[in-house]
Amino acid sequence: MKIETLETETDKSEVNPSKVVSEAEWLVARRDLLTREKDLTRLRDEVSRHRRELPWVKVEKQYVFDGPNGKETLTDLFDDRSELIVYHFMFGPDWEEGCKSCSYLADHFDGANWHLPNRDVSFAVISRAPLPKLEAYKKRMDWRFKWLSSYGNDFNFDYHVSFTKEDEKKNEAYYNYGKGEFITDELPGLSVFSKDENGEVFHTYSTYARGLDILVGAYNFLDLVPKGRDEDHFDFTMEWVRRHDEY
């Protein structure tokens, strides 16, 4: 069974529309919240600084992907830039369509990708499904980002987003920096790479599960409204999500 969700923690607070106050009372509450928002902004900036200070690991293995331009290596994906973001999209070789939760995230990619190249950053999506499946699904979803297939290489396994039959048999998988119960053969993630002036490539960062929240612009909008994400009554947090042509 495919689990098409990110691991999330839901907001247990309840909306109380009967709590109507004066403008002056509202302003007091809003200023209190502003203090908390500023604390969060400062903490986020601090965490981002620590992320940038992480040590790097040299990528020794040569990965070759099937892409719209033929065979391409990980180095090729930088496209003459020094930084590369890869989104690990859940789409197994035998799946008929991509994960709906990854599709929800992917709806946000093209807008950001207008701007990333102008900051020395390339962006690519990689899945294990064969390239013809990826291209057909990409056309259906009307996406423009670069999508490549890692079918036939170890990339998804090495970056801990794909899992083997042996993992399933043992009911154990390494994901999000720890061993846990096997969930499914594909899970989502994002990895970042840097290339130096000698052409050597380094792995600088990977994130999984709720670490991917930052990519979901629609969630950021929902977090602003009184009901929030409003997911508490679902069996799992992203149960409501549909591919955008299925709503």
pLDDT in tens, 1-31: 344 445 444 454 555 666 899 999 999 999 9
133 CB neighbour count, 10 Å cutoff:
21
Chunk the chain into consecutive blocks of 10 residues (it has 247) and report each block's average pLDDT, rounded to whole numbers: 45 63 95 98 98 98 96 97 98 97 98 98 98 98 98 97 96 97 96 97 98 96 95 93 96
Whether the CB-CB separation of 32 and 127 falls below 8 Å is answered with: no
Whole-number pLDDT of residue 16: 62
pLDDT in tens, 221-231: 999 999 999 99
- Per the domain annotation, does 79 fall within a domain? yes
Whole-number pLDDT of residue 232: 92
DSSP-derived pairing of the beta strands 201-208 and 57-58? antiparallel
- Per the domain annotation, does 2 fall within a domain? no
In the chain, % helix, strand, coil (3-state, to 5) comes to 35, 20, 45
Residue 170 sits in a domain whose CATH number is 3.40.30.10
- Per the domain annotation, does 65 fall within a domain? yes
In the chain, how many domains are there? 1
As a whole number of angstroms, the distance between CA 144 and CA 116 comes to 14
Residues in the chain: 247
182 token code pair: 């096997």
22 token code pair: 């004066």
Nearest-Å Rg of the Cα atoms of the chain is: 20
Whole-number pLDDT of residue 7: 47
Taking the alpha carbons at both ends of the chain, their separation in whole angstroms is 22
pTM of this structure: 0.90
Domain that holds residue 124: 56-218
As a whole number of angstroms, the distance between CA 25 and CA 19 comes to 11
As a whole number of angstroms, the distance between CA 174 and CA 159 comes to 10
